[in-house]
Structure 1
Amino acid sequence: MSFQASDGGFTTVNLSHQDKKDKNQLNLSEVSKIGKTWDKHRANAEKISNYYASASEASFKNYALRVRRCSEWLEFELLPDESEDILNLKLLNAQFCRVRHCPVCQWRRSLKWKAKAYKILPQVVTDYPKYRWLFITLTVKNCHIKELRQTLDCINKAFKRLTELKAWPIKGWVKSIEVTKGRDGISAHPHLHILSMVQPSYFSHGYISQAKWVELWQQCLRVDYQPVVHISAIALDHDPKLLIPEILKYQIKVSDLVADREWFLELTRQLHKTRAIAVGGILRHYMRELEEKNQDLIGESEEMNEVDRESLLFRWGSKQKKYY
């Protein structure tokens, strides 16, 4: 068995006749490089399930059961390539729990967001070829994890005030909220990442300096300290799609999710029914589907069809910590 280059979302593998005969005895990580990623996220999902199971809330017990059953089985379709011995391996069927902080579902959701954005942004650039793009990060001071919901409410209200200012130059934006774990183990650092469009004349008329952005954000936050603000312009010859991974990455780093049980459980309470992504202005017409809650985590192109094809089926092995 040998690996070939990945192409168009497929993982390409070279299976010998013996491999085909014994294909259901293979580890996923032996068949595909993405197998190690599946193994890692599924192992972390077990940790999250155990965290939820140890909590007193009935809703968390339900989360524990759902996460434990998440993606227990994975079925991949084998699609023949031009070469007789080359097969494309693509996810065909899986049952996902859709619990917000399940590492597997968070990963799949991020992949779907990115795929949609990569598909949509070229049309935006075509429709607004002379518009410029900015990448903005707006921060606040760390808060205690038990004050996260209140802090996020303040941040969102402040951002709304910012968009209502006459000085607000942004014509379209995608906003994501990221929360990282404080070094002290009990705090959280919420901040906003914003991919934004400005008119072609922005840098000659209506330009806002770094210092002015800090002043405006402080004004809208209504705080007595200067918050940290990062602003960077995307060069004319650079593609805004390059920033999609940063904007649509995980809301919470997996390492933070599994680092501390109590911090994680409180995080779940604090983020319940909050929104991770929002779209506004011109971009809302193009990208509002990023705000949808129950998105398909497999993909239309990966759904089963009427054509019978060979497939590989893998089951999660809790003891082995891998799919086999």
Structure 2
Amino acid sequence: MHDCGKILAFDRYRIGDREERLRILANGSFCRERLCPTCMKRNSAWQHVRLSKAVEHYLRANPLHQALLLTLTVRNMPVDQLRDWLGRLFKAFWKLMRYKRVKNAVPTWYRTTEITQNAETGDVHPHLHIVLFCPPEYFKRAKNLYITQPEWAAMFKRALQVDYTPVCDIRAMPGVGGGAPLDDLGRKSLFEACKYVCEPGMFFEDDDLEDFPLIELHDALHGRRLIGMSADLQRVMDEQSLPEDEPEAFIPENARLPEGAVLEGREIYHWQRGKTSADSRYVLVEFLPWRQPSASKEAVMTSTLPD
């Protein structure tokens, strides 16, 4: 994590007659550690791409299904209890989704895990975000499929086997389902289910990270599958041929090019550490110009990062 992003490659674009150039991150020496703030942000954007494409495909086959966002929580706990409670949380989730009442009402789902921290006490708060795809019959009381918020909480309490009623939140996801194709509002709604494992701000609330429980978080998450989905949605993901981990040259969708942008080449930057943080900066070490294709040759621009 300390060395993450020390080498970055940007594609440089010219836009009309503007002197200022547009640079879009094309590659980098990313560590891909689960708890790296930079890599969490990239992975979150990639999971959003995967989920959005899968949901688009799913809604074409099930246009009247409506998406709901269910959030399941447990009480805050010291970080040294996190691993055990994550195990209980995942086990309770699987038990909940196998209850007959839930299986009949929710044929398709997508789950992610998020952990936040109380800045005052240092306790951590694990919770699950689940996108539920429900058929139109779910909202017809006569079909006896609809599950109220208190019923979700009661069933989750039984699955979790605790002596308190956990907080459960259930709400519709605007723009996802209900007879309309997935739009920008729907993609924004889906991003709520693709959040970071931990808020990157947890790492930067204090300049002194000496007391930050990084090792404890790492050990608690080791070997855990933090994203899950129903079998039918997994089949859709497989058909889309989108890998679980983001490709090396992944560019987030929010980095869309404006009209008229012309690629000039690729810039390679190295992080240069100075004597003070103010002296540290990225330095341009190489520019690889884009060669326009001719009738007999393909366009060439290397994407290999220097050693």
TM-score over 0.5 (shorter chain):
yes
Answer whether contact 1:278 1:291 (CA < 8 A) is retained.
no
Deviation at 1:180, TM superposition (A): 0.7
Q: Which residue of the other structure, out of 218, 221, 224, is the alignment partner of 1:268?
A: 218
Match of 1:108 in 2: 42
> In structure 2, do the counterparts of structure 1 residues 180 and 292 end up closer, same or farther at CA, with 3 Å as the change threshold?
farther
Match of 1:223 in 2: 162
Structure 2 residue 269 is the aligned partner of structure 1 residue 314: yes
Deviation at 1:137, TM superposition (A): 0.4
Match of 1:52 in 2: none
Q: Which residue of the other structure, out of 181, 188, 191, is the alignment partner of 1:245?
A: 191
Answer whether contact 2:10 2:25 (CA < 8 A) is retained.
yes
Q: Which residue of the other structure, out of 106, 111, 114, is the alignment partner of 1:170?
A: 106
Deviation string, structure 1 residues 268-307 (Cα, Å, up to 9, x no partner): 22111212211114322223689966432432899xxxxx
Match of 1:284 in 2: 234
**Separation (CA, whole Å) in 1 of partners of 2:249 and 2:234:** 24
Q: CA RMSD in A?
A: 2.8
Q: Which residue of the other structure, out of 280, 298, 312, is the alignment partner of 2:249?
A: 298
Q: Which residue of the other structure, out of 45, 49, 52, is the alignment partner of 1:118?
A: 52
Any idea what SS the aligned residue of 1:69 has?
Answer: coil
Deviation string, structure 1 residues 63-121 (Cα, Å, up to 9, x no partner): xxxx232211211122456x365865332331111122111111111121122223332
Any idea what SS the aligned residue of 2:127 has?
Answer: strand
Structure 2 residue 132 is the aligned partner of structure 1 residue 196: yes
**Separation (CA, whole Å) in 2 of partners of 1:93 and 1:216:** 45
> In structure 2, do the counterparts of structure 1 residues 129 and 153 end up closer, same or farther at CA, with 3 Å as the change threshold?
same
> In structure 2, do the counterparts of structure 1 residues 294 and 213 end up closer, same or farther at CA, with 3 Å as the change threshold?
closer
Deviation string, structure 1 residues 217-266 (Cα, Å, up to 9, x no partner): 11111111111000012353685423222111111011213445342221
Answer whether contact 1:277 1:291 (CA < 8 A) is retained.
no
Number of matched residues? 252
Deviation string, structure 1 residues 140-179 (Cα, Å, up to 9, x no partner): 1112110101001001110111111110021111101111
Structure 2 residue 147 is the aligned partner of structure 1 residue 213: no
Match of 2:10 in 1: 76
> In structure 2, do the counterparts of structure 1 residues 136 and 297 end up closer, same or farther at CA, with 3 Å as the change threshold?
farther
Answer whether contact 2:27 2:248 (CA < 8 A) is retained.
no
Q: What TM-score does the superposition give when structure 2 sets the normalisation length?
A: 0.73
Percent identity among equivalent residues?
A: 27
Structure 2 residue 282 is the aligned partner of structure 1 residue 323: yes
Answer whether contact 1:172 1:284 (CA < 8 A) is retained.
no
- 1:276 alignment partner AA: L
Unaligned 5+ segments in structure 2 are: 254-262, 284-307
**Separation (CA, whole Å) in 1 of partners of 2:242 and 2:166:** 27
**Separation (CA, whole Å) in 2 of partners of 1:291 and 1:155:** 28
Structure 2 residue 110 is the aligned partner of structure 1 residue 181: no
Structure 1 or 2: more helix by fraction: 1
Deviation at 1:122, TM superposition (A): 1.7
Match of 1:56 in 2: none
**Separation (CA, whole Å) in 2 of partners of 1:294 and 1:230:** 29
> In structure 2, do the counterparts of structure 1 residues 311 and 291 end up closer, same or farther at CA, with 3 Å as the change threshold?
closer
- 1:273 alignment partner AA: G
Unaligned 5+ segments in structure 1 are: 1-66, 303-307
